[in-house]
Amino acid sequence: MTKDIGCRACRAGNTLDFDFTMAFQPILDVGSGSVWAYEALVRGLNGEPAGTILSRVTDETRYQFDQAARVKAIELAGRLFPRDSDTRLSINFMPNAVYEPNACIRASLEAARRVDFSHRRIMFEFTEQERFRDIEHVKRIVAAYRQQGFLTALDDFGAGFAGLNLLANFRPDLIKIDMELLRGIDSDPGRRAIVTGINDIARALGITVLAEGIETASELGALRSLGITLVQGYHFAKPRLEELPQVEGFAPRAAARAA
């Protein structure tokens, strides 16, 4: 598919031949005791897993699906998120489905305005599991999104194709360390050494680390001892379909007051 066709697809209002919705899982700041964000996760209308939906996405419909998923997440956030909160919405996106970043972001911006949800509360996650066809183009996407006021995050860090090379190229605002690197970190000196190294590199680059897939209190304790305070995982809450899971002891981030 050519660049011109891709850009037209970004702007088009074409509909998909299947429907879907979103589940939400909290991202917590254990340092402040607040809900830092909710990640929107693709699900079927009856809670079918993301893979069931993504298996229906073809090369011809990936542009429409990427746009529809962003809009769906934003519209639900406008309905579900507290109005007096700065809690963010985290959206996964397909870098290979974006040809011209500013054209392809228009539907997201329009949806945010329509439901009165500040676009500055939105973070876009691009996954390391998808091999990028054009590294320079993805760098332009990250730069364009940052200029628009969005945060960007590299998901599944340490589990995909390029690892540190992507980090050096993109310099996202956050990296999400893959759960497989964190599993059993409390009792595995090797994993602890690797995560310590990642955290030190991120800190030197001014990048925030988020630990995903936490399942035990011991894993959480090990991460906190390394100074990692943004966390996500079943230890706190499982995703809920079109609902915001509540976590005891954590409240939505209060909106900053104007001076």
Residue pLDDT, tens place only, 243-252:
999 999 999 9
- Residue 167 pLDDT level (bands cut at 50, 70, 90): confident
pLDDT at 1: 41
> What would you report as the CA-atom Rg of the chain, rounded to the nearest whole angstrom?
18
pLDDT at 60: 85
Mean pLDDT taken over the chain: 88
pLDDT at 6: 46
- E-strand ranges in 100-185 read 122-127, 151-157, 174-177
CATH (residue range 3-252): 3.20.20.450
Mean local confidence (pLDDT), 11-32: 87
Give the residue, 78 or 60, on which the prediction is more confident. 78
Instruction: Give the up-direction half-sphere exposure of residue 220: CA atoms within 13 A in the CB hemisphere.
Output: 16
- Residue 132 pLDDT level (bands cut at 50, 70, 90): low
Mean local confidence (pLDDT), 21-27: 98
pLDDT at 59: 82
Rounded CA gap, 96 and 166, in Å? 15
Is-contact 96 59, C-beta < 8 A? no
To 10 degrees, what angle do helices 3-11 and 106-114 make?
10
Q: Which residues of 133-151 are buried (b: 16+ CB within 10 A; e: fewer)?
A: eeeebbeebbebbeeeebb
Give the residue, 61 or 159, on which the prediction is more confident. 61
Rounded CA gap, 150 and 173, in Å? 10
Mean local confidence (pLDDT), 134-154: 87
